Structure 1
Amino acid sequence: MRVAAVAACALAVAACGDRRSFDERYNDAGSELEQRARAIDQNIVNELPAEEPAEGNRAS
């Protein structure tokens, strides 16, 4: 019984770790997603072959 009480107290203390507001966590998550998106975009740009200069519009 004591073990269960100690485990419950430990769980309750662990659940109180992040005291930031929802808005703060939301903004942090949004910033992280923007950084990941930029990194993905940069990787895509680096992997694409360089475009050859266009010779103008050709009428066929």
Structure 2
Amino acid sequence: MYKAMYKGVIRDEARQAAKRRQREEELRQSLLKRERYEAVQRVGPPGTCNEGTSPESPA
């Protein structure tokens, strides 16, 4: 009985580790995308709107 419980714990830990690796990879990809986006698009502080602040728009 205890061996089966132990194997279940091991499987659960392996699943959690796999999910953690996947989330870390998704975060890494997201940060790369944000870095590329910010390289071509000006980004203001959160909660602000940048409408009309591009160099092409008339002041």
Q: Which structure has the bigger radius of gyration?
A: 1
